[in-house]
Amino acid sequence: MESAFNIQDYLAGGVESIMKDAFRSTLKNRKETMFLMKFSRHAKNATKTRRKYSENGQNIPAFLIASITSRCNLHCSGCYSRAHDACNDSEPIDQLTAEEWDDVFSQAKDLGISFIVLAGGEPMLRRDVILKASDYPEILFPIFTNGTLLADDDLKLFDENRNLVPIFSIEGDEEVTDSRRGDGVYSKLVSSMDEMRKHNIIFGTSITFTKWNLEEILSNDFIDHLHDMGCKVIFFIEYVPVNNENADLAPTDRERDILFEKINTLRKEYDEMLFMSFPGDEKTSEGCLAAGRGFFHINSHGGAEPCPASPYSNINVKDTSLIDVLESKFFRSLRDEGILMAEHEGGCVLFENKEDVERLLNRVD
């Protein structure tokens, strides 16, 4: 029987591969090389910390997803966050402050959490929080951004703090990207990627895959284009329908199998790049990784949720610690009662079994 895919081990190996690639490059990549050397040591120490907690029966995931803002400057077609009122044009007054996020990052470091995804909304609208993140070189912060707001100050920030890794959202070619994200977005994305390459800054891309764009985004031409632009990380994010009208966009098992097989091939062909799918990697990780099994989510108001696609919470980081969140009855129930391992049609088991999730939430309230 084939062993389960371990994302932590894959990422650690990917960091080493990128580090070797940096060594082979010219001395102008020295900042990147030095950071990757240090982070590799930090990641190993973090793994030891998590193992110590595990010996006491406490599960600490390697990943945290932090939605640091609800505000966004774009109105993308079919946006899940806007459809569920998790994204707005203006900043609500009860969002976590930069100091509160700083406390979250500090706790995460002490627990051995190695990767904190900064999401939104548009996270570049909260530069105050990103500045706090720069103070934690032990943690890698992928910043999922639409790439339209980068300024010279941001390039300087990324250049000086290599633990901040921009992840640009793209849908495919110019026509497909602009049709969903707005006219001119693709050209701004390409310009932002070009600036990253000029400054020798590692960046990645996030691609929402649907039933209809999978062939294009998995084509060698498209992957080669991103590779040549300097992209080092590609996240394939499964499209979650916002309503029944968009249901035909959702991938089926056929598309997921195609993606699964292609990613395995890409990981062999492009060994200097990282390829991950969400939530698709659960197929090779023996179940869903949400609710602290592999990651968890904190929304912009501080609510701790199993996953961004399962926005249910009865606990807030304003009032309690991260370890108490992970040991909460709700998270433990999700991990212990089989929902994360349940059979399901779609890519997100919690989204498809939301009635059961709500039942558990109500039971522990």
At 54, list the tokens: 């595990």
Could you tell me if residue 199 is inside a domain?
A: yes
Q: Output 339 or 159, whichever has higher pLDDT.
A: 159
The mean pLDDT of the chain is 83
What per-residue confidence (pLDDT) applies to 5?
Answer: 46
pLDDT at 285 over 60: no
In SS3 terms, 39-66 reads as HHHHHHHHHHHHHHHHHCCCCCCCEEEE
What per-residue confidence (pLDDT) applies to 19?
Answer: 46
Q: Output 322 or 36, whichever has higher pLDDT.
A: 322
Q: What is the mean pLDDT of residues 320-330?
A: 94
Cα–Cα distances in Å, from 296 out to 52, 161, 198, 204? 20, 25, 34, 21
Could you tell me if residue 168 is inside a domain?
A: yes
What per-residue confidence (pLDDT) applies to 333?
Answer: 83
pLDDT at 303 over 90: yes
pLDDT, tens digit, 9 for 90 and up, residues 167-187: 999 988 899 899 889 999 999
Q: What is the mean pLDDT of residues 5-22?
A: 49
pLDDT at 95 over 90: yes
What per-residue confidence (pLDDT) applies to 58?
Answer: 92
What per-residue confidence (pLDDT) applies to 35?
Answer: 80
Q: What is the mean pLDDT of residues 17-29?
A: 46
Domain count, the chain: 1
What per-residue confidence (pLDDT) applies to 294?
Answer: 83
pLDDT, tens digit, 9 for 90 and up, residues 52-92: 999 999 989 989 999 999 999 888 876 767 766 677 777 77
What per-residue confidence (pLDDT) applies to 3?
Answer: 46
Q: Where residue 9 falls among pLDDT bands split at 50, 70, 90?
A: low
Cis peptide before 287 (omega within 30 of 0): no
What per-residue confidence (pLDDT) applies to 192?
Answer: 94
User: How many residues can be counted in the chain?
Assistant: 365
User: What percent of the chain clears pLDDT 90, i.e. is strictly above it?
Assistant: 44
User: What percent of the chain clears pLDDT 70, i.e. is strictly above it?
Assistant: 83
What per-residue confidence (pLDDT) applies to 176?
Answer: 87
Could you tell me if residue 97 is inside a domain?
A: yes
Question: CATH code at 227?
Answer: 3.20.20.70
pLDDT at 245 over 70: no
pLDDT, tens digit, 9 for 90 and up, residues 114-143: 999 999 999 999 999 999 999 999 999 999
Q: Output 143 or 345, whichever has higher pLDDT.
A: 143
C-alpha angle 227-229-235 in degrees, rounded to nearest 5: 55
Cis peptide before 241 (omega within 30 of 0): no
Could you tell me if residue 238 is inside a domain?
A: yes
Could you tell me if residue 1 is inside a domain?
A: no
φ/ψ bin of 302: left (φ > 0), alpha (ψ from -120 to 50), beta (otherwise)? left
Q: Output 309 or 261, whichever has higher pLDDT.
A: 261
Furthest-apart CA pair in the chain: how many Å?
A: 58
Could you tell me if residue 58 is inside a domain?
A: yes
Could you tell me if residue 2 is inside a domain?
A: no
What per-residue confidence (pLDDT) applies to 180?
Answer: 86
C-alpha angle 74-78-81 in degrees, rounded to nearest 5: 65
Domain assignment of residue 142, given as a range: 7-364
Q: What is the mean pLDDT of residues 198-211?
A: 89
Q: Where residue 166 falls among pLDDT bands split at 50, 70, 90?
A: very high
At 320, list the tokens: 């309690």
The rounded distance, in Å, linking the Cα atoms of 167 and 156 is 16
**CB-CB contact of 296 with 290 (8 Å):** yes
Residues 6+ apart with CB under 8 A from 8: 47, 62, 114
